[in-house]
């Protein structure tokens, strides 16, 4: 089989290839770590969730081959998610750099975000994702207190809240009350401002998903790009996510789609025994 899961005898362990990749990073110990697990066929959801919880990373991506490329699902330590940028980038990186994928493009079929295409362009991997524009809204009850900062604007998208602050320094200095933030009904809270050395900066908090702060969040840029592109009157944007680990993203507004590109590096390769 393609990934050579091994069932040597009844009761023998299944062996699942595992990679840990730092996505949106040029060197290890930066960017956003994701696990990538290569399967021949789907395990039951409870087993997938247990693997993700055991990995204890913000995302674990699971890949199963299909006729055009791969089926892809992503799990946090506590739940499955509809879209994950750094998990997609990490999955493509493993296929291109460590599994000898022969083409310059790989197609992932997902359950809730349709087909996602990743193209290798030099040392950058470019993802084509659906845009998720946000609309202006009133701050939900408890948001300002949980963030400890008064926003310039608040917008809401299908899953996330977008909180706009005045300066990059304001974004850096946000110190949320995560217990209170977890009580707000949304997937996550994106905090953003114009950047000092990039077009814009952001941070992403998702305590309801078991991720107090995500180091670099590709899917959040499906919201950020449609917000910043018209304001800055730029189609191509340079973004920094200014978490403690930090990450760099190269973005493009394509109307109902967005381009999100970044680099990745391998941290770990191993085997899961089940």
Select from 151, 177, 176, 175 the least CA-distant residue to 162: 151
Task: Please calculate the CA angle 229-234-235 and round it to the nearest 5 degrees.
Answer: 80
Is residue 211 a contact partner of residue 59, using CB atoms and an 8 Å limit? Answer: no
What whole-number distance in Å separates Cα of residue 157 and Cα of residue 162? Answer: 8
Both tokens assigned to 121: 């362009």
Q: Sort 56 into a burial class: Cβ within 10 Å, 0-12 / 13-18 / 19+.
A: exposed
What's the Rg (C-alpha) of the chain?
A: 18
59 an active-site residue?
Answer: yes
Residue-wise over 234-264: b if at least 16 C-beta within 10 A, else e?
A: eeebebbbbbebbbbbbbbbeeeebbbbbbb
Both tokens assigned to 76: 């946090």
Strand 160-164 to strand 188-194: parallel, antiparallel, or no bridges (unpaired)? Answer: parallel
Pick the catalytic residue from 27, 41, 54, 59: 59
What whole-number distance in Å separates Cα of residue 207 and Cα of residue 76? Answer: 11
- Residues designated as active site: 59
């Amino acid at each position: 089989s393609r990934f050579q899961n091994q069932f040597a005898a009844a009761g023998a362990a299944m062996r699942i290839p595992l990679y840990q990749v730092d996505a949106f990073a040029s060197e290890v110990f930066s960017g956003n770590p994701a696990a990538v697990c290569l399967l021949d066929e789907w395990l039951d959801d409870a087993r997938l969730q247990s693997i993700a919880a055991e990995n204890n990373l913000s995302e674990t991506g699971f890949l199963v081959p299909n006729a055009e490329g791969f089926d892809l699902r992503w799990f946090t330590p506590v739940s499955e998610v509809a879209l994950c940028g750094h998990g997609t980038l990490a999955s493509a990186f493993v296929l291109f750099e460590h599994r000898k994928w022969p083409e310059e493009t790989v197609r992932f079929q997902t359950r809730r975000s349709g087909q996602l295409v990743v193209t290798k362009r030099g040392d950058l991997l470019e993802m084509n994702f659906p845009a998720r524009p946000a609309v202006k809204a009133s701050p939900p009850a408890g948001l300002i207190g949980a963030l400890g900062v008064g926003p310039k604007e608040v917008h809401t998208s299908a899953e996330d809240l977008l909180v706009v602050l005045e300066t990059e320094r304001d974004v850096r200095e946000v110190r949320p009350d995560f217990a209170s933030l977890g009580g707000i009904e949304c997937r996550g809270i994106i905090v953003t401002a114009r950047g000092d050395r990039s077009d814009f900066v952001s941070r992403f908090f998702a305590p309801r998903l078991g991720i107090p702060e995500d180091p670099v969040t590709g899917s959040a840029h499906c919201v950020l790009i449609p917000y910043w592109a018209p304001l800055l009157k730029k189609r191509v944007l340079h973004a920094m996510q200014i978490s403690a680990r930090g990450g760099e993203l190269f973005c493009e507004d394509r109307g109902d789609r967005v381009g999100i590109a970044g680099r990745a590096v391998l941290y770990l390769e191993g085997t899961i025994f089940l």
